[in-house]
Amino acid sequence: MTDLTFGPKGWTPERLGDLSGKTFIITGANAGAGFQAARILLGRGAEVVMLNRSAEKSTVAVAALQDEYGPDAAVRFILMDLAEQASVRAAAQEVLRTVPRIDALICNAAIAQVPTRRLTADGFESQLGTNHYGHFTLCGMLFDRIDANRGRIVVVASLGYNMGTKTIRFDDMNWDRGYGANAAYSQSKLAQMMFAYELQDRVKAARRNVAVYVCHPGSSATSLISTSGSRAMRLVWWLMTKTPMVQTAWQGAYPEVMCATEEALPLQRALYGPTGVREFVGPVGRGTLNAHAHDKPVMVRLWQRSEKDTGHIWSL
């Protein structure tokens, strides 16, 4: 059902005011929705720090943004590979050294539909290790800086959380048995959502000053599938992009920018994104959140397991 909180067209960047003096950190911002989010925020005068794994692509992205907004546009990048905990820690330390305020951390980067089972350098299934564990450590290390400015954490999820087992396979999180690209991706995105909702509870209990929001881009024409998906999946996705069921990457950025900036969001325990056909496309607002995404015992167990596996112990 279409959410009309922000009118018949839903939330759009036209609602944004002047963002001068505000700083936004975006993971995976050299392409796709993350890049478009950077464009939107820079266009309103904000500073953007991109955390990306490719220096070459990041340099091209920064140049494109400065071509559009001028050589003085406040955009730069710090190298970070979410799949490597050591890289995440080094990047977080660099952020703390060079970024004095964080108004929002947008956890946008992801890999998807990896056709064959792969492990990260730390021994995690690649999608879980990148999408969830990488962001888990990053958010933990930057939390106090975000809290100091009463900022936000935005977790970019996926409707894929409704696929697969709809829970966490604690007995086989790395898919040593029965690996499937879709199922493993679904678990990784569900893990991200559960982390965010559990963080909401812990922030409230500790009376800290960070708002945590979860959104998804809907079905958007980004490079996510073409970057890591199988040949067959890339073909299917290419065909889908020719239909009205896929929107532009610019539109796909709306939910994460909204969650990073909008003062009128009614709830944190929600899933924001397109609210039109199948919630793939359409006006951006509050969508459907299914209960398995905030199953409290599973969330608590996942948090404990994530601290154990990453070695990052949160302090709230």
185 is catalytic: yes
Catalytic residue among 133, 185, 213, 272: 185
Decide: helix, strand or coil at residue 36: helix
DSSP string, 184-206: HHHHHHHHHHHHHHHHHHHHHHH
Q: Encoding tokens for residue 93?
A: 């330390």
105 and 139 in contact (C-beta within 8 Å)?
yes
Helix runs in 83-211, H state only = 85-98, 126-127, 135-148, 181-206
Sheet containing 104-107: which strands, arranged edge to edge?
Answer: 75-79, 47-52, 23-27, 104-107, 152-156, 211-215, 272-274, 284-286
Q: Which residues sit opposite 153 in a β-bridge?
A: 105, 212
Task: Give CA–CA dist 301/290, Å, rounded.
Answer: 19
Instruction: State the catalytic residues.
Output: 185
